[in-house]
Structure formats: structure tokens, C-alpha cells
Chain A
Amino acid sequence: MAAVTTSAQAAAVHHDAHAGHDNYAAQLRMNRLGLWLFFISEAFLFGGLLATRFYLWGDTRPELDQEIGLIVTSVLLISSVSMRLAETAMERGNRKAFSFFILLTALFGLIFLGGVMIFEWGLFPAIYEGHLTPWGDKYGAVVFAMTGMHALHVVSGIVFIFIVWNLARKGSFSKERHWGVESCAIYWHYVDVVWIFFYPALYLIGTAAHVTH
């Protein structure tokens, strides 16, 4: 009798575990779909900014430092690589490597942000004298609108990274279940994808216009 009860209990536990797995898998599918729908809605925002750039600037662009553009773009691309390495580390249960790579990603994000604030916005004239202002002309307005909206997403990505890093430190994720890490990584890559289109639009396309204020 006892053996029968134990066997029934084991079957019930197995059934519960299986149902739990199914629930998690279904939830994960919904989470992924929701995140991508969010990206599609965001694409309209960034697409609108790109359209504004082509409408107002045509085949011209402001005089921006090409080397700075290449450097900040490279930093953001490297941050995407380090973020993917962090996610891979979590998938393999290597928490030490995860912490290292995700914090490295945040550092690259901060460097990118610093580059934008110093060299594109000219917020620190003692270091670099910028020549664009948001109210100056169509070049300044578009540069600040595009980089400003993108920088806002970089800032939220960095905040997201620190939240995920802190949760991981407390043991909230496992190599089997880490949606928080996955969503943070995908969000960060999305911010990178946006910049992949913004970089040529701002720095490379068209001839530099000589603007006098």
C-alpha cells in the first residue's frame, strides 16, 4: 500500500514538474513575442527620425569628426559582442564570466555615452568645442534629436544592465532560466542595431555642409 502511495506521489510530482515546464515555456514564448512587438513599435520612432534626416538634409550632412564617429560606433559594436559573451556565459552557468562581460558592456555603454556628450553635443567645451546646437539650424536639430533619442535608450539599457547584474548576483537566474538576462541582452543589441543605421545617416552619407553661425 505504501509503495503504491509513493509511486502515485512520484507521478504527481512528475506531472506538476512537467506542467511547470510547459507554463514556463509558454510564458517565455509570450515574453519573446512581446519584446519583439515593442521593438517594432520603437522602429517607427527611429524610422521617423531617419526619414526626417533624409528629408531635411538630402545629400548633405553636418561637419562631424569622422574619426570620433568611427570610434564611438566601434565601442558600441564591441559592447554588443561583450553582451553576447555575457549571455553565452550565463547559458553555460559561468557566473563569474557573466558578471565580467555584462559589467564590461555597461562600461562600453558609458564610454559611448561620454563620446556622444563630449564630441557630438559639445557639453564640455574645455575638452572639445562643439559647433552644433539643437536650436541653431536643421543640422543641429536633427543631430540632437537622433543622438538624443538614441542616448536615452543607451541610458535605459545601462540601467537595465545594472538591474540584471544585481539580480544575477543574488542568484535570480540559472543557466536553464534567465529570461531577464536574455531580454536585457536583446534590448542592448536593439540599441546597437539602431546606431548601425544612424552612423552612416549622420556621419557618412552626403557631402559636408559648411555652416556659419
Chain B
Amino acid sequence: MFNRDGYGIVVLIGIILAILTIIEYFMGLYHVGATLLMLVAALKAILVIYFFMHVSRLWTAEGEH
């Protein structure tokens, strides 16, 4: 449905990050433990590292025109 390097996937990831941030906010309000909060943070970080920081380009020739 989405091209990994297209505009659509960027917006989709942005929306997922926003939803996770709001979930985090409410988890904080209801004093959910540090472990769960850090897990949500790790999930957000993985999304950014994979989709925005192109970590996979380290072991592929992607972008080497």
C-alpha cells in the first residue's frame, strides 16, 4: 500500500508516533510503571530509527546511485 520511501509512509509513521505519545501521556497520568513507559519509548525509537534514519542502509546498497 505504501512505498517505504514515499510521502505516505512518512505521514503514517508520524501518526503512529503521535498516537503512541498520547498513550504515553495518559500512562504517565495513571502512574503506569517505568518499564512499560520505557517500552513504549523504545517502540517509538525503533520506528524512527528504521523508517526515518534508514538504519538498513548500513548493510544494503540502498541510495548508492
Binding site for B on A (CB under 8 A): 24-25, 28-29, 32-33, 36, 54, 59, 66, 70, 73-74, 77-78, 80-81, 83-85, 88, 91, 176-177, 182, 185-186, 189-190, 192-193, 196-197, 199-200, 203-207
Contacts and interface: CB of A to CB of B under 8 A. Distances in A.
A193 B49 CA distance: 8
| SS of A interface (majority) | helix
A54 B53 CA distance: 28
Interface residues of B, number: 37
B5 to A, nearest CB: 6
A86 B13 CA distance: 15
Contacts of A81: 10-11, 13-14, 17
Given A200-B38, A207-B31, A70 B21 contact: yes
Interface string B1-34: 0000111001101100110011011011101001
Contacts of A28: 63-64
Nearest to B35: A205
Contact of B64 (A24, A59, A91, A192): A24
B53 A200 contact: no
B52 A185 contact: yes
A189 to B, nearest CB: 5
